[in-house]
Amino acid sequence: MDGRITGISGPTVTIDCEGLRLSEMVLVGDARLTGEVVRLGERRAVVQVYEDTRGLSVGEPARGTGRLLSAMLGPGLLSAMYDGLQRPLERLNELNGPFIVSGKSLPPLDLERSWRFLPALAAGSEVRPGGLLGEIREGAFSHLLLAGRAGVVTRLTDGEFTLRQPVAAYADGEEVFASLQWPVRRPRPFRRKLAPSRPLITGQRVIDFLFPIARGGSAIFPGGFGTGKTILEQTIAKFADVDLVVYVGCGERGNEMAEVLEEFRTLSDRWTGTPLLSRTIVVANTSNMPVAAREASIYTAVTMAEYYRDQGLHVLLLADSISRWGEALREISSSLEEMPGEEGYPTYLSSRLAAFIERAGVVETLSGRIGSLSMILAVSPPGADFTEPITQACLRYAGVFLMLDSSLAHRRHFPAIAWQQSYSLYGEELQSHFREQVAAGWSDMQRRCRELLQREASLREVAEVVGAEGLQDEDRLLMWITGRIRDEFLCQNAYSEDAFCPPERAAAQMAELLAWYDAAQKRLKEGALLDDLLSEDARGRKG
């Protein structure tokens, strides 16, 4: 499987190795740059190199590794920051300084660190495939070690182990380790998929109340520059009621990622009180890092997310932004001289995105637990044009569509989610949960709130023609309450105490707004003056 480089074109390299497989990882050149086989011919393979290829020359060696582009899974992933190829950025930083040195690698997990292993069986027991061998503790979490095959387990000891040491062995001598390699482009297996039925609380009123996301569901929010995508992703990363967050910084600014890390280190999780970072994995392929690895980054991230889902946990994958992934795919495709589709994206853009979003879901795991993987993806359409291919493809597969509106952002209405255009396809299951667990009137209030906002939109059109003074008193009252709904309910300042709002509080706030409106309507009918009602309300809230 050894060969030589026969051609180089940017990040795309042809080599003359034989016996390679598609998607096999290849080490290219004297610097042993990481690459992946993307096209195979007889005695010729095209390799996508994930590192800077400058300085590489024809004739340098290339070698197949025999395995597919994989992620290492096991204890120690939490709190880490990886690049798109799962290189541990912080540990590399300590070793080499802030620049990734091509070809210099460190394993994704610390092989020297010890972990406590608690066997679930006595030595000599027989196991079936998927049977529980034991648990490894990582902070508040348990990694379940499952048998890969049937057999008699002869060695199984309670104690401290590093990832280099086997924690168990079969009768035939095969050893079992606490970590494993998994090809990132292949979804991890589960027993069966279940329909999402519970909400994922984001703490953002406009989302939880009007456009709820299901645990195991997917949401996208497309928005132009400055509409608050990054702030929204980060705010949800901090507050979402999930066990674990995998945050992918894909092609965005590096300083934003540094800020996230710093903040997560100091803040604690409002659900458990432990530092936020200990429930977070960061995957960063920022704008200053190689484009090709950006394409791989979302797969590395989702594979780690699935791995924790398989432990029966609720995991949320956040990506900022999926558009930069699409652009990386386009660049790779064009360097391979593939036939371009719409706007230069490869024709398989949509099916790739579908397959990726498909990896979200609620599952019964191989060990019989329930785990979920939810996705919230930011989309940054160029020129805020929502008809472009990536937004359109995401729209087809995501369950919640939250459109970020530049004009709302200009008015500093944040989160700038356009309530007229957005929608959630997770219907009655989530509604009944909110009615039963949060507030009996949840669905009624939601319906009324939508109706009011809708009426406001049509009244605005009228007011543009006749002027606000030309409106009837009831209509002006309606516009007053919707103004309050927008300012006090739909807006949420990410830098204030209000950054997280539990659904109970959201329901109480909405109930109060609607009760005020009902009372005001009644008094108006009884002859009160509108201006008196409004100024009384304004004064009352100030005082």
Ligand X SMILES: Nc1ncnc2c1ncn2[C@@H]1O[C@H](COP(=O)(O)OP(=O)(O)O)[C@@H](O)[C@H]1O
Site of interaction with Mg ion (CB under 5 A):
229-230
Partner touching 226 among Mg ion, ligand X, none, CB below 5 to 8 Å by kind? ligand X
**Of the two residues 402 and 438, which places its CB atom closer to Mg ion in the complex?**
402
- Does 493 participate in binding ligand X (rule CB under 6 A)? yes
List binders of ligand X among 288-307 (CB under 6 A).
none
Q: How far is the CB of 380 from Mg ion (least distance, A)?
A: 7
Can you tell me which of 494, 511, 524, 534 binds ligand X, judged by CB under 6 A?
494
Q: Which residue is nearest to ligand X (CB)?
A: 228
Residue entry with tokens 């930069």: 324
**Of the two residues 217 and 223, which places its CB atom closer to ligand X in the complex?**
223
**Of the two residues 230 and 350, which places its CB atom closer to Mg ion in the complex?**
230
**Of the two residues 230 and 446, which places its CB atom closer to Mg ion in the complex?**
230
Q: How far is the CB of 235 from Mg ion (least distance, A)?
A: 12
- The whole-angstrom separation of Cα 304 and Cα 336 is 29
Tell me phi and psi for residue 116, to 5 degrees: -85, 125
Contact 272, 240 (CB under 8 A): no
Instruction: Return the closest-CA partner of residue 481 out of 519, 508, 514.
Output: 514
List binders of ligand X among 199-238 (CB under 6 A).
223, 225-231
Q: How far is the CB of 241 from Mg ion (least distance, A)?
A: 24
**Of the two residues 48 and 230, which places its CB atom closer to ligand X in the complex?**
230
- Enter the tokens of residue 337: 């001289």
Q: How far is the CB of 497 from ligand X (least distance, A)?
A: 12
**Of the two residues 231 and 528, which places its CB atom closer to Mg ion in the complex?**
231
- Enter the tokens of residue 363: 């599952």
- The whole-angstrom separation of Cα 384 and Cα 256 is 21
**Residue 441 half-sphere exposure, CB side, CA atoms within 13 Å?**
12
Instruction: Return the closest-CA partner of residue 352 out of 64, 53, 38, 31.
Output: 38
Partner touching 225 among ligand X, Mg ion, none, CB below 5 to 8 Å by kind? ligand X
- The whole-angstrom separation of Cα 362 and Cα 306 is 11
Tell me phi and psi for residue 212, to 5 degrees: -65, 145
**Of the two residues 27 and 250, which places its CB atom closer to Mg ion in the complex?**
250
- Beta-carbon contacts of residue 14 (< 8 Å; ≥ 6 apart): 5, 6, 7, 8, 44, 45, 46, 47
Q: How far is the CB of 455 from ligand X (least distance, A)?
A: 26
Q: How far is the CB of 493 from ligand X (least distance, A)?
A: 4
Q: How far is the CB of 245 from ligand X (least distance, A)?
A: 17
Residues that contact ligand X, how many (by CB under 6 A): 14
Can you tell me which of 461, 495, 497, 543 binds ligand X, judged by CB under 6 A?
495
- Does 340 participate in binding ligand X (rule CB under 6 A)? no
Q: How far is the CB of 225 from ligand X (least distance, A)?
A: 5
Distance of CA 175 to the CA centre of its chain: 34
Residues across the chain = 543
Q: How far is the CB of 298 from Mg ion (least distance, A)?
A: 16
**Of the two residues 185 and 229, which places its CB atom closer to ligand X in the complex?**
229
C-beta neighbour count of 451 within 10 angstroms: 11
111: helix, coil or strand? Answer: coil
What is the DSSP secondary-structure string of 471-493?
Answer: S-HHHHHHHHHHHHIIIIII---
**Of the two residues 72 and 282, which places its CB atom closer to ligand X in the complex?**
282
- Does 361 participate in binding ligand X (rule CB under 6 A)? no
Q: How do beta strands 361-364 and 126-127 pair?
A: unpaired
Binding to ligand X by CB under 6 A, coded x per residue (else -) over 402-431, reads ------------xx----------------
Q: Under the rule (CB under 6 A), what is the footprint of ligand X?
A: 223, 225-231, 414-415, 492-495
